[in-house]
Structure 1
Amino acid sequence: MIITGLLCGALLGFVMQRGRFCLTGGFRDMYLTKDNRMFYALLIAISVQSIGVFALIQMGLIQFQAGEFNWLATILGSFIFGIGIILAGGCATGTWYRAGEGLIGSWIALFGYMGMSAVMKSGALSPVNNSLKGISTPTNSIPATFGLSVWPFIALLALITIFLVVKQLSKPKVFIPSLPPKRKGLNHLLFEKRWHPFFTAILVGLVALLAWPLSEATGRMSGLGITTPSANILQYLVTGDGDKYLNWGVFLVLGIFLGSFVAAKGSREFRFRAPDAKTAVSSFSGGILMGFGASWAGGCSIGNGLVMTAMMTWQGWVSLIFMILGTWAASYFVYVRPRASAKKKAAVYQTTTA
């Protein structure tokens, strides 16, 4: 049954690569260009998963316990993670699928992410990782906090998502010229045609839903998750303890890499691209911050931003907010401030040479 993790991950990697489902770029563009399409796409994926998962829970097919809400660790860790994904050029899942495209910078970020996650979870920094766990509230479930059923919250999310999506789709479309298709039929649809982010989001939501019963069938009571499985890969390579570290989640993240590779090869987008020294340092530093922040927050942009939000937990939605704030803060120092400084220097130069 553990091989289903590989198949589920391959589906996710294929879909995300072909649909260019990049949350890092989406969060960044909300701030830099006021483009909210990828955020709306994330809401679609959350809604699809939430409706499906709670339907499965009601039918008694899967189980879920929200647990307690480590609010301080979630806030700090998510903000740090948001900074890290800007420096790394991709979030945890984005780094995995872009590594499958042959992007060496993503490989560098991935090593930093895996290494720091392992150090935080079972290495020298495990006391740091656990230091804020005691600062928590006993109730993590949003519906339980208000003493209500989960379905009104799901309905509200679905209505907000539908409103935002319809509003976005009603905007005038910008014509983007494209070359005549070189392929026909299914081959064209899978590997050549541009995928709409909202269509991609529906598929991501369905894969996230599929992950729940497949994972729980192996005894892993959770859905999609990236940080702990990524750390487990490194821990397995160091210790060789397969019984402890090789599980459904490990095969999931390996499947993301495999699915992305297949998609990139099929669409002729795979090629090895080496970064310059500055980008390499930034990627590795971002990977370290990603691993540190995601470990503290109890999840990354997928574990918290997609899964725990769908489960209507405080951890998921608070994490998503501070993750976005972290990307905006980093975007200011990485993109906005350097541009403003460059414009100022250019203006001074023109004044002095006039």
Structure 2
Amino acid sequence: MILTGLLLGAALGYVLQRSRFCVTGAFRDLYLARSTRYFTPFLLAIAIQAVGVAALTGVGVIAPEPASFAPLAVIGGGLLFGVGIIMAGGCATGTYYRAGEGLIGSWVALIFYALFAAVMKYGPLGSFTEAARARTVADATLQETLGVSVWVPVIAFSALVGVLVVRQVRASAARSTGRTAVRLPARRTGLGHYLADIPWNPWVGGVLLGIIAIAAWVLSTAAGRNGGLGITTPSAKIATFLTTGDVTLVDWSVMLVLGILLGSFIAAKLAGEFRWRVPDSGTILRSAGGGITMGVGAALAGGCTIGNSLVETSLFSYQGWVSLIAIMLGTWGAAWFFLVRPQKAAAASRPAPVLTPAA
């Protein structure tokens, strides 16, 4: 049954590559461009998963267990993870699918991310992580605090997301009125054209991400693992397996993340977008630093932009939503430091134009 993880991971990698769906870009663009082009579809993915998970839980197909809330670890880890994804040029899933496209910088970030997640979870710093995450509060979820059914936050959140989706679609339609799209000659016809030739709309990526997240709960439960999509723990398991040879670490979740690499590689090859790209030394060093920071942050926070910001949020756990906010703040701070600040400094150092008097 663990091979279903590989198949679902391949589907996820394909969707991420074709839709260019990266949570880093969604958070970063909110700050830099005031754009919700990817952020609202990401919220839509959470809403779709929330409805599906609540329904499947109600009929007894799955039995999700929201993570306990350790405020200091979640906030600190989330901030670190947000900084790390800007340094690495992508979040955990974004790093995986870009590695599948042949980006060496993403491979560097991925290796250090998996290594330091293993150090924090199973290695010499495991006791520190365990102690930090042991400082929890009583309630784990919003519905637990309010004493209501999970359907109350599910319906309220879904209604809010519905309003945001309608507003964004209308605004996008208004901006595109009168514009003529430039269409390149199709390389393929029929289904192949849509699968490989053209980039997918962010809405397609968001909807499919939500559906895949629901399927992950069902398939993972069938394989004996009670959980949905996850990236950090299986990445740590891969690093630990490679150093210890412990085959018991190779489970459904490990197959899932390996499948992301496979799916994104297939998508990139079919679209003619795969090629090995070697960045400069500065980018490689920053990618390594980003990977380290992501691994440490995700281990402390109990998850990454998938495990927390997508999956735990759909359960309305405090860990999920507080981590999402912390990651966003870390992303914005790092975007200012690494992107905005250097641009402003460069602009300030340019000599003023010399004006010559008119003849």
TM-score normalised by length of structure 2: 0.95
Name the CA distance, whole Å, in 1 between partners of 2:194 and 2:144: 43
> Equivalent residue of 1:177, what SS?
coil
Q: Partners in 1 of 2:68 and 2:2 — Cα distance?
A: 28
* Contact kept in structure 1, 2:73 and 2:133, CA below 8 Å: yes
Residue identity (%): 49
Matching of residue 333 in structure 1 with residue 354 in structure 2: no
1:230 to 227, 235, 256: 235
1:295 is the counterpart of 2:304: no
Taking a change above 3 Å as real, the CA distance of residues 81 and 67 of structure 1, as seen in their structure-2 partners, is closer
1:62-109 C-alpha deviation (Å, 9 max, x unpaired)? 111224211110010001000000000000011011100001100000
Find the counterpart in structure 1 of residue 313 from structure 2: 309
Q: Which residue of 2 aligns with 1:188?
A: 193
SS at structure 2 position matched to 1:173: helix
Contact 1:105 1:280 in 2 (8 A): yes
Matches for 1:23-38 after TM superposition, within 5 Å:
23-38=23-38
Query: Do the aligned residues in 2 keep the contact of 1:69 with 1:137 (CA within 8 Å)?
Result: yes
Distance 1:351 1:97 in 2: 44
Contact kept in structure 1, 2:10 and 2:256, CA below 8 Å: yes
Residue 253 of structure 1 is matched in structure 2 by 257
| Structure 2 partner of 1:240 | 245
- Consecutive unaligned residues of structure 2, counting only runs of 5 or more, are none
Q: CA deviation at 1:25?
A: 1.1
Shift of 1:173: 3.4
Asked if residue 211 in structure 1 is aligned to residue 216 in structure 2, the reply is: yes
Q: Tell me the CA shift for residue 133 of structure 1.
A: 2.0
* Deviation of the 1:353 alpha carbon: 10
Q: How many residues align?
A: 351
Cα RMSD, aligned residues only: 1.3
Please tell me whether the aligned partners of residues 40 and 165 of structure 1 are also in contact (alpha carbons under 8 angstroms): yes
In structure 2, the partner of 1:63 is: 63
Which ranges in structure 1 are unaligned for 5 or more consecutive residues?
none
Instruction: Please give the alpha-carbon distance, in whole angstroms, between the structure 2 residues aligned to 1:67 and 1:276.
Output: 40
Matched, 1:350 2:355: no
2: distance between equivalents of 1:166 and 1:140? 32
1:164-175 equivalence runs, <5 A: 164-171=164-171, 172-174=174-176, 175=179
Structure 1 residue 350: Cα displacement: 2.1
1-structure distance, mates of 2:136, 2:311: 20
Q: Could you tell me whether the CA contact under 8 Å between 2:80 and 2:293 is conserved in 1?
A: yes
Q: Tell me the equivalent position of 1:281.
A: 285
Moved over 3 A (4+): 173-176, 351-354
Q: How does 1:4-153 map to 2 (within 5 A)?
A: 4-153=4-153
- C-alpha separation in 2, matches of 1:280 and 1:319: 27
Residue pair 1:67, 1:139 contacting (<8 A) in 2 also: no
AA aligned opposite 1:193: I
Give distance in 1, aligned partners of 2:93 and 2:67.
24
Where 1:170 maps in the other structure, the secondary structure is helix
**Partner of 1:260: helix, strand, or coil?**
helix
CA change 1:240–1:188 in 2 (3 A) is same
Residue 351 of structure 1 and its aligned partner are, at CA, apart by: 7.0
